[in-house]
Amino acid sequence: MRRIDIPAAALAAILALPLAQAPAPVWAQTAPTLSADNTPEEDRGFLTAFLEDNLSGAGRQVRITGFQGSLSARASLDTLTIADDSGVWLTLKSVTLDWNRSAILRGQVEIAALKAELIEVARAPETASPASPAPEAAPFSLPDLPVSVKIDEIEAKRIALGAPLLGQPVSFSLKGSTALAGGAGDINLALKRLDDGPAGQFRLEASYDNETKRLGLDLLAEEEAGGLAATLAGLPGAPELKLAVAGEGPLDDFTTQIELSSDGTPRLAGQVVLSTVPAEAANGSTEADRQGASPVPLRRLEAQLGGDIATLFMPEYRPFFGDNIALTLTGGERADGGLRLDQLTLISQAMTLSGSGALDADRWPEQFALTAEIKDAGGMPVLLPVSGGETRVDAAQLALQFDRATGEEWQGSLVVDGLDQPTLAARRMALSASGYIRERKPGNLGSAFAVLNYAAEGLAPRDAALASALGEEIMGGARITFVKREPLRIEDLTLSGANYGLSGDVSVIGDMSAIDVNLDTTLRADDLSRFAGMAGQKLRGAAQMAIKGTIEPLSGAFDLTAQGQTDNLAIGQDAADQLLRGRGTVAVAAKRDTTGLHLSQLDAKTSAVSITANGDMNSTQTALTGVARLTDVSAYVDGLSGPLTVTGDLGRTGTGAWQVSVEADGPSGTRASARGAVGASFDTANIDVTGGGPLALANPFLRPRSINGTGAFDLSLNGPFTLSSLSGRVTTRDATLSAPTLRNSLTQMDITATLDGGQARIDMSSAVGSGGRMRLSGPVDLNPPFRADLTATLESIGLEDPQLYTTSVGGTIKMTGPLTGGASITGALEMGETNLRVPDSGFGSTGDLPDVIHVGEPADARASRSRAGLIAEPSSGASDGSGAGSRPYALDVRIAALRRVFVRGRGIDAELGGSLRLRGTTDAIEPSGRFDLVRGRLDILGKRFTLDEGYAQLIGDFTPYIRLSASTEASDTAISIIIEGDAAHPEISFLSSPELPQDEVLARLLFGRAISEISALQAAQLAAAVATLAGQGGAGVIGTLRDNFGLDDLDVTTSDDGEASLRAGRYISDNIYTDVTVGSSGTSEINLNLDVSSNLTVKGGLSSDGNTGIGIYFEKDY
C-alpha cells in the first residue's frame, strides 16, 4: 500500500527555515559562508537556493518564492511547491514563522507560531518502492534529535485535498502544537472539515517518554452521516460514525480501549493489551538463567473485540455475521527468539474459526492447528461478505494440522460445497494436502514437502465459452518441495478435464527481488472444438504443445522453447483449413533479456505449407526475416499448379519507420515484390509494388467466365493506407476472356489501368470472338460509389443466337455515374445485316430433354460444365447481378437498322427496317419503336405470296415479336395468311371471307378446291405446306388430316437441300407395320416391318429407283 506523508512533507519544508537561518556552526559544514559584502537580495537568493537544493531529491523538486526575513525573528515565504515527475502535487501559500533565533545557539528550536494560509494537495505523490525492512526487530522509541523542537502553535487555515485522493475534493482546518526534547515528546492536533460536506473532526493527543516507557493516547474521529469514512468504506446508508481509541500507561502494561459506533449505537468494542512477562514464565528455564544472566522480558499481546457489526454491511450479510461477532487473540514472544500464537478464535453466526501456532527462532513452523467451518444452522446457502458479486456456499470446511513434537508429517484439506457466484457455480471443490516439515539442524537447512490433489465436480461457468472449454469436471495434482536456499520445485503438475490436460514440472528460484521460474510442461487438447468459444472462431482438430525454459516474472525476461503437433487443425475458413489439414508441426525458440527479444526459431509445417522466421527486436533496432512456402496453389487457383514462395524482411532503427522488403515467386511466372517504408504507427507508407503473373488467378472470382493471359503491375503507395495514395499502372497484353453463357469471348485484349489520385483511367482494346473489335476508355473512382465516365466503342461486333438470329452491331455506348447503382447508360448503335430465323422442327420432335443426372462424372468434365454455366449453383441469397439490393441503371439507347433486317424460315423471306429505343432501367427495360416491312414473300408448296404487312419489335423480356401477313383470293374466297408471335415460336393462322375451317381455307388456297375434292398426293402436299409453316405444330390442321385418313403416323420431313417428303404409316395387323414415303421430287419408298418376337424383327423395303433391301434385327430393351 502506498504511504502518503503529506503533513510530514509540508512540515519538513517549513522546519528547514530555521536551519537555513541558523548561525554558521549549525550548517557551515554543508554550505558556503556568507561574506560581509553580501547584499540582502544576494542573501535571499542564496538561502532560497540552499533550501531548494537540500529539500529536493530524486523524484522530488522543491521551489520557493517570496522568501523574506532570513535574518529576523519572523520569516515568511509566498509559495512553496513540491513536484514529482508528473508535476506539482503539494503547494503551500503565505507561510510565516515566529521563532527565537538565539535559542538555536543552545541547541533548541523554539517556535512560537508556524502558520500557513493554504496547504493544497492535488494528488498523491509518485513514490519509489520502499526498501525492504531490516530483518531485526527493534523496540519502539522516539528519534533522538541533535536539537530539541518545540512549536507552541501550528495552524493551517485551509488544507485542500484534491478529488484523486478521496474521490471528492475536501478541505480542512488544522490547529495544534508539538514538542520533542530529551527523548520525550507530545503532540496535539485537531482537524475540522470546512467544505459543504457533512461535518467531521479528528482530534489526537499523544505523548511518550523513552525513559519511563509511558505512552498516552487519546484519539477521537467522528463525522455526520454521509461522511468521508462511511462513503469510502461503502457502508450501507453511509451512517454517522465515531471511533474512539484511548489508553495510558507503561508499554509493559498498556491497555487500549477501542470503540466504534454508528448512528449513536456501539458496533464494535474491546481492548488490546500489551504486556511483558519474565522469560521463565513464558517458556520455562532459559539459557540465560543457567548462565546466571537476567532473562530478557518477553512481550505479549492480547486482544478481545466483539459486537454487532452486521449493520455496517449490507442487510443480506446479517445471516453470516449474526448479532455478535467475537475475536480473541493471544500470543507473544518466546525466550528462544520464536513466536507463538496461543489462541485465535473468530466466531460469527455462520462461521467458526479457531487455531494456534508457533514459529522457532528461524521463523520455521514448529506447530500449527487451524480449523474453520462455514455453515448455516438451517441448511440454507450462506452469502459470504466478499467482493466480486454475490458469492454463496452450501458449506465450507478448512483443516490444517502439524506438530513437530509428534513428527514431521502435516496435513490439510479444504472442501467447498454448493459454490454459487456470478461467474461460476460448482457442486463441489476439494483440495487435499499432506507432506512433511523438517526443522533446521546442523547439516539440514530445513525443508518442506507437500502432495496436493484437487478436483472440481459439477462445474458450471456462466460464460458459455468457458463452460465448453472446462467441462463439468476437472482434477489434478502436484508435488511441491521447498528447501531453504534452494529453488521451490513443483513436480508432477497435472490439470485434466475431458479431452484436454496440462502436465509437467515447475521450479522457482530466488526471492521477491528476483524470481526465476523453470518450466517443463505439456499442454494437450484432443478436441479443439471445445475451445472455439474462447478463441472467438471455429476450431476443430487436436493439438499438443511442450514448453520448456525459464521465465523471470518480475522483469518479464524469458528463455523458452516450444514444440508441438497438430492433427487436422481447422479454423472454419476454407482457405486456411486446406493449409492446416493433416499432420502439422510447430517449433518456437524465443528469448527476452535486457538486450531485447530474440526469435531464434519459428518453424511451422504441414503437408501444404511451411513457414520459417527468425529475428531480433529491441528499443533501438528490429530485424525480422521470414519465408513461407505453399506446396501447390492449385487448391486456390483453377488451372494453375506449382509451389508459391514468399520471403520477407522487416527492419527498423529506433522509433523510425519500418523498412519492408517482400518477394513472392509462384508458378507460371507469377512474381511480386514490395519494397519501401511503413510509418512507425502503421498509418502511412511509401512502398513500391511490382510484379506480374497469369490472369487465371482471378478465375475463381469470375466463374463461369474465365480469363487467360498475363498481367503486370507497377504501383506505388505514398501516404495513408487509402486508395487515393495509390499510383501506377496495371497492364495486360494479348489476354482472352471467355464468357460461355454469352457464347462469346474477347481476344487480343490489351488493358492499361493508370491509377492516380483515387482514380483509375481505363484504356482497353480487344477483338471479339464473334467478329469485330471493342474499345473501352474512361476514368473510374476507386472508392465507393465508384463513379465512372466510361465510353465503349463497338466496331461491327457479331452477335448470334444459333437458333434465332445473327447480326453485327457498331456504335458508341457511355456509362456515367456510380457503378454501385444509379448510373446511366446512353448511346447510339447501328445494326449491320441481321438475319432473324424462324426455327424449323418436324413432327417427330420430342421436345426438350429432361434433366440429366450425371453418374460417375469425371472432375474435369464437371469443371467444364460449371464454367459453361450448365450447373445450377445453390442460391446463397446474394445478389445475382441483376442489381438486387442496389439502384438499377437508367437506360437511353437508340438502335438503328434502316434496312437489311431479314426474317427467314418456314417459307418466309422478308426484309425489315427501322429503329428502336431502349429506355427505363436495367430492372425494367421499356423498348419502343419497331422494324417495319420493306418487302417480302411467303412460299408455300411452290406458291409464292407477297407479304403486304409486317413488323418486328421487342416486347416483355426483350424477346423479338414478329407479325407478317399476306392476302390473296382463291375460288371466290378472300384469304389472309398471318404469322404472329415471338420469333422462336410464332403461330400461323388462315383467315377467310366467308369464314371457313382452316384446313378448308388451306386446300382452297393451294389447290383451288374443297378439301374433300383433293387427291391423296395433294393431301400430302397440303400436310407438307402446313409443316413448313407450323414447325412444332402437329395438332390443329395436321391432327385433323391424320385422323381423317385413319393413319397411325403422318410425318413430313425436309432434307438439307429443301426437298419435302411425306411419310404415312399404319399397322396392318398386331405385328405387321408398313409405311410409304413420297418425296416432292416424285421419288417414293415402301417399307414393311414384321415382328417375329419381342426381340426379333424382319424388315424389308423397296424404292422407286429399284433399290431393295431386307434385314433381320435382334433387339433387347435395357
pLDDT digits (tens, 9 = 90+) for 318-374: 899 999 999 999 999 988 889 999 999 999 999 999 999 999 988 889 999 999 999
Q: Does residue 1080 form part of some domain?
A: no
Residue 532 near residue 468 (C-beta atoms within 8 A): yes
- For 939, counting Cβ atoms within 10 Å of its Cβ (0-12 exposed, 13-18 middle, 19+ buried), the class is middle
Length of the chain: 1118
Domain-located, residue 890: no
- Ranking 192-196, 598-602, 738-742, 1023-1027 by mean pLDDT, the lowest is 1023-1027
Q: Is the pLDDT of residue 1070 over 80?
A: no
Highest mean pLDDT among 431-435, 834-838, 966-970: 431-435
Is residue 1's pLDDT more than 50?
no
411-425, 626-640, 741-755: lowest mean pLDDT where?
626-640
165, 181, 196 - which closes a domain: 196
**Model confidence at 24: pLDDT above 70:** no
pLDDT above 50 (res 881): no
What is the average pLDDT value for the chain, to the nearest integer?
83
Full DSSP string of 339-359: EEEEEEEEE-SSEEEEEEEEE
Q: How much is the average pLDDT of 44-53? A: 70
Q: Where are the beta strands (DSSP E) in 571-639?
A: 583-593, 596-605, 609-617, 621-630
- The pairing of strands 148-161 and 108-121 is parallel
Is residue 631 included in any domain, yes or no? Answer: no
Is 679 part of any domain? no
Q: Which of 483, 498, 523 is the last residue of a domain?
A: 483
- pLDDT > 70: what percent of the chain? 84
Q: Is residue 11 part of a domain?
A: yes
pLDDT given for residue 40 in this prediction = 44
In a domain, 566, yes or no: no
Higher-scoring residue by pLDDT: 867, 105: 105
Does residue 1032 surpass a pLDDT of 80? no
Q: For 37-50, what is the mean pLDDT?
A: 57
What is the pLDDT, as a whole number, of residue 175?
93
Mean pLDDT (whole number) for 730-749: 90
1074/674: higher pLDDT: 674
- The pLDDT of residue 145: 59
Q: What is the mean pLDDT of residues 712-727?
A: 93
Per-residue pLDDT tens for 235-262? 888 899 999 999 999 988 999 999 999 9
pLDDT at 941: 64
pLDDT score for 850 = 57
* Tens-place pLDDT, residues 31-42: 444 344 444 444
On whether the pTM is more than 0.95, the answer is: no
Cβ atoms < 10 Å from Cβ of 223: 22
Instruction: State the total domains in the chain.
Output: 2
Full DSSP string of 679-746 = -TTSSEEEEEEEEEEEGGGGHHHHTT-EEEEEEEEEEEEEEESSGGGEEEEEEEEEEEEEEGGGTEEE
The whole-number average pLDDT for the span 185-210 is 91
- Whole-angstrom Cα distance, residue 439 to residue 445? 8
Domain for residue 40, yes or no? yes
Mean pLDDT, rounded, for 700-721: 88
pLDDT in the model for residue 1091: 83
Residue 10 host element (H or E): helix 6-21
Average pLDDT for residues 428-433, to the nearest whole number? Answer: 97
Query: Greater confidence, 852 or 283?
Result: 852
Picking from 153, 177, 196, the residue at the C-terminal end of a domain is: 196
Q: Give the pLDDT score at 278.
A: 77
Per the domain annotation, does 455 fall within a domain?
yes
pLDDT of residue 371: 97
Please enumerate in sequence order all residues whose Cβ is within 8 A of that of 880, keeping only pairs 6 or more positions apart, or say none.
none
Whether the predicted pLDDT of 7 surpasses 50 = no
Domain assignment of residue 80, given as a range:
1-127+142-196
Cβ-contact 43, 123 below 8 angstroms: no
Of residues 869 and 1082, more confidence is placed in 1082
Task: Tell me the mean pLDDT in the region 228-234.
Answer: 85
